[in-house]
Structure 1
Amino acid sequence: MRINLFICFLFFSILSFGKEDREIIKQIDHINSSALQFYNDDEIVKSFKEFISAKELSDSIQDHYGSATANYNLGNIYFLMENYESAIQYYNSTINVLKPIDDSYLISSSYLNLAKIYREQNIDTKSIQYFEKALKSSVVSKYINELEKEQIQKVFVEARINLCEIYIEKKNFDEALLNLLKLENYLKTNEISSNLKGYYKYIYGVYSAHNELYNSANIKFREAIVLLKEGDQEIDLELLSNVYMQLSISLAKAGKSTEAYITLLEHNSFKDKLLNEEKSRQDLIIKSKFLIEDYKNEAQIANAARIQQVEIANKFKRINTVIFITLFLLIGSIIIIYRSYSQKMKLSKTLKVKNSELELAKDEALKSSELKSKFISNVSHELRTPLYGVVGITSLLLENNSLNTKDKKHLKSLKYSGDYLLNLINDILQVGKMEANKVELKNVSVNLKDMLADIVNSFDYRLEETNNQIEISIDNYVPEYIKCDKVRLSQILINLIGNSVKFTANGIINLRVKLVSLDNKNVGLNFEIEDNGIGISKDKFNMIFDNFCQLEDSNLNYQGTGLGLSITKNLIELFESEIKLESELGVGTKINFEINFELDQNKTKVISDFDSKAEKIEKPEANYNILVAEDNKINQVVTKNLLKKHGYLCTIVENGKEALKEVKNNKYDLILMDINMPVMNGNEATALIRQFNNSIPIVALTAADIEDVEQNCKGIGYSDIIIKPFDNYEFFQVINENIQNAQNNNGDVQLVLAS
């Protein structure tokens, strides 16, 4: 009888415990569902709290499925907040908890998200490994419902597409194609969302584009766009933006520039929407991070409070001792703080006096620096204006074939002296700008061949005078067009070659351009200048790059300011490079440096030989009529002769008031406007012309430094700026470009600085 009663008791106990567990499991499922709804509504903190509660309940009764669901969703929250370490921990917990249950969806989704995290961290090996695990785990059982089947199929397709993308990025096109074909077969027998189909078409298009199958790529990209836009699903803006960008690039490479441009505009439109969405997402993440950390801190504080209460109960007998020690330390601290405060007040008074003295010294130094800069700027302008006349007239006279050898030699000497004075002015200004951190590199398209030809040609007279030769060698496959700051790079090479010419007689100067690296976007070049001149002793290596440093040798008579190498070193450092020097007395000197340049994607050729750029000045297609506003008589002669020689019609006026009258009464294709003129200066005249004529290009002529006038010119209405004295080729290039732009753009004026 007793045994029967005991068995009945056990039966009812088990039954009651089972019923209680089922009620807790229902509660866990309800909490998980509620938390998931909060997550979908972007109420991340509420979702986090609910999943933590569900996890704690599940662990208390060893509900593996409930615990795995909570762990998986907590991993999603940390993934969203980019806390990858915590996300990895929760996804691994999900997988470990589900091993006895073998839930295909949660396990495969966890592997998929782990793979995405490792991909975000650029750990490709682990990323591929976990994508493969996600594929193997995506098993569709016949016992699951349609919703679970769709979820598992989505994981399978997404994992396969990501693998394709990784293999394409790693240029493993065989593996990429194999995965694409497997996906193609899978999609024939399984129905998936239009978003995933669009993603698949996009990756197929990327694969085709990488293999230069641009027509096929264009078809795939367009199919992807249609799929991503159709249906009731939310549009994936990031994916759609990427599709438009890749389609634009593919169309451009296929020669369909108009369609490429239109597609690029579509990309920009979706990119803007994506940026707005991303901003809202980041705001949500930041807010959620803060609130979750606050919640965790509150939980820790609450737990700490409970522990503290226990400790207080256990250590009640030692409270008096602790209070006594605390009071003793407090009194000691007050004494120390008081003494420290007294000393600090004395020191503070001393520092105030010193700070006042330093402020006065700083103000005086600033005034002195401003006065120096203003003086240098004014002097450089006054020197450049007559130099324009000297260099210009000398160039015109040198083109006269009737001159005898002696006269030509004298004129070359005169031009060299003018060029030397101009370089001296530029060096002094350059030092001032570098001290004020005002030098900024520009990034424009440069024909490397033409630039080097110009630099070599500029040394004709000095080479003849020193009986030297310049030999140039350039590696094969060096691109002809690069993007860089042409003025600064030319200045570096001119200074280094000039130094070699100066310290070499009856010798050879080698200019070498070596290819260091080359890819689709960038090229690394090593520039090397080597001579067999007098050389430099090793004890001078560290000092020759200082300002005003010159070789101290009574037997040598070399002119110079000692600024060239200092400026060169600073400019090379602006290009994020360093100058390397090798030299030996009596043997020669070799200087080299490496710079990475961006390629001009629209112009990629390989340098073949050196042609003279002077012969490339093209005659205008029509008799363009140019108005020149210039008050200096010599400059009038130089500019007028230069324009007429190359086929332009020319009218000269002496001030801005006369220029304004001419533009109102006659038609001109371009105006060359000197800024500093009597009666009415160029800025005033340009502003008045722009009130009734926005179509005519107005090019500013100035002897001031370009950085000093650039900002004002943007608001006045100039189309371009030319600094006097100027290079003839660049002078006519600026004129032709502005006339053509005015004709092509129907009179829309844009400021493009010539430097």
Structure 2
Amino acid sequence: MPTQIKYFILAILINCSFLASSQTEETQENNRVKDSIENYLTKASHAINTAQLATALENITLAKELAVENQNKTYKAKTNSVLAELYLELGDLKSAKEQIENAIKIQIEEKDEIALANSYNICGSISIKLRDFENAKKHLELAYSLIEKNNLERLEGPVKINIGLLALEMNELDHAIKHFNSALPKIEALEQSYYKAKLYTNKARAQMAMGLLDDAIATNALAMQIGSEMKYLEIQSESFELYSQIYEKKEEFNTSLLNLKSHQQFKDSLFNINKEIIAQDARAKLNMEDDKVKIEELEEENKQQQKSLKLGRLTTILSIALITILSLLTLSLYKNNNLRARANELLQNKNTELILAKENAERASEAKVQFLSTITHELRTPLYAVTGLTHLLLEESPTPNQKEHLNSLKFSGEYLLSLINNILDLNKLEANKVEIENTSFNLQKRINDVLIALGKSAKDRNNKLHYEFDKSIPIKLKGDPLKISQILINLIGNSIKFTQNGDIWIKVKMINRIENKVFLNFEIKDNGVGISDKKQQSIFENFTQGSVQINRKFGGTGLGLSIVKNLLSLMDSEIKLESELGQGSRFHFDLKFEVFEDIVSNYQEEAKKIDYGVMVDKRVLVVEDNKINQLITRKILEKNKMICDVADNGDIAVNKAKNNEFDLILMDIHMPGISGIEATKLIREFDTEIPIVALTAVTLDDNLDEFYNNGFNDIIPKPYKTEEFFTKLHKALSKKQTTS
């Protein structure tokens, strides 16, 4: 073989060996770069979870530099994904959304389904924060489909947590709890402590929203335990904030305040960290434009020496910029401390002013309570005459037409009493101090009574009332019939008032029934004048009407819709309004009732079982200063064959009780001379056996103990219902007969 050929073959072999060696070295270098990027991103994710955002930023920066330097799209997208998590933690949702969208775009092009599943999950989390629930649902469903397709067990739990969080934000509380519970076994099996803590925090939030406060405290304690053990500052901060909200709902305000302070300390700490991170992040490394990257790549390929020089200059510039920013940050912190000191001084001054304002408000409130106590009695006393005379007229065999009008008058009297109570106690409504009764009633009949009471008003304005009642609704329900009537009278009356020559539709339908509970929808719709969009925002406020012109034309206090809103709030519901000027208005709301089981639990049922023979020939002393009330009470008693005597004031009552024998005394409270309470105390000095029943128009909410402690056997509030009146009289007389 010629020598030249030998040398040629040897040269080829050497060249091949060199190329193979180069390729091996290149592969090894690529693997080293990938491992480094993966390592940096893993450290960054862990640092984000533990609120070490400076460490997270440092690792993301290193990962992105390597990804850009090696022009690796896959790892550039992964870096953008982790960077989106960092921006989400910092609260920069706009930047977070930009980064995750860039990552998703690259991963779709590269068909990197494993990384894409994680990016979809992060995008869903960002969309929840932005309250873009439709976009969040879309990306979380995409993430879950890729998880199932590729069997990505480590992502299954985090995605279910975000799906549960989406349900929580959309107020679908049962679904939220369901998703959190389904995620827990997988997270525990994989020992994903951070996501386990997040799950417990959000589950506790859902339990709190459902009113399960003790369950929420227990669940939140599990999150706090993990946060403390693993040093998850964000989890600890959220847990303290959640404790504060739960104990506030439990009205344990001192505990709530302590937890709020702990949350604020963590929040301040995290905020300062965020400021340091933002100071370090000049976006010099993390937001490089593609054109600049390409120029740097060309310069690197063609001018290696110039690249080194420029990198040195860039490092110097960045160092100078960083030192400048840190100096500015130091100056800013100094000024911020001065501002805080001044702010604290201002807060102390404001606090002093607020304490004075609070004391003034309390004094004004006491004056208002005294006024309301007086005016309550003055308003209820004439109402006693209305309801009493109505009862007597109903007992005198009226014609059917008269009976209908008298029933309407009776119903209106009851409603007027309820309306007076609600107007006078509007402050109690807003403070949630008004109690909801729970008695049996016929809802269909109750609404019929409302329509009869409002029929004349509708007819006067030439309006037609259309009533639709779902026949599947049980006949008897348990609830507060007077407050239901008040709500409907206000809403239907409002429609009648603002509609002329039109139609008003009243619809009640059953939405659902679960065991002994029914869920009903009420709708009141008219084709009247309507309400503008601007006024719809304030129409439910106190003393508010559509406009000055409407107030002049239609009149009214502007309290009706405010009372409706407050009453529905007490019943765990809310009023909804749809309206358009000139087209009419639609009010609707949902209420939950229990189906009434046939158990006697009200005076109407008890009255049917009374042995009226016990009352015959019994001597009753009626102590009452109002002549009309004397006449009504006396007629009612004598109609049932009882012997009645009357005393105009407390002094006469004491003398008559001392010199005569009575079986029962009905005692008014507010009278000229000595009060009913004082008269009762004097009678009890010489007679401890005779039943004394308070017949009074005062508010009983806070006074029951005072009556019983001063010698009364029972209390009948005025204006009373005859069923309650005779039931309590029968009870008092039967007890006296037994003891004697």
- Normalised-by-shorter TM-score class: 0.3 to 0.5
Q: TM-score, normalised by structure 2?
A: 0.46
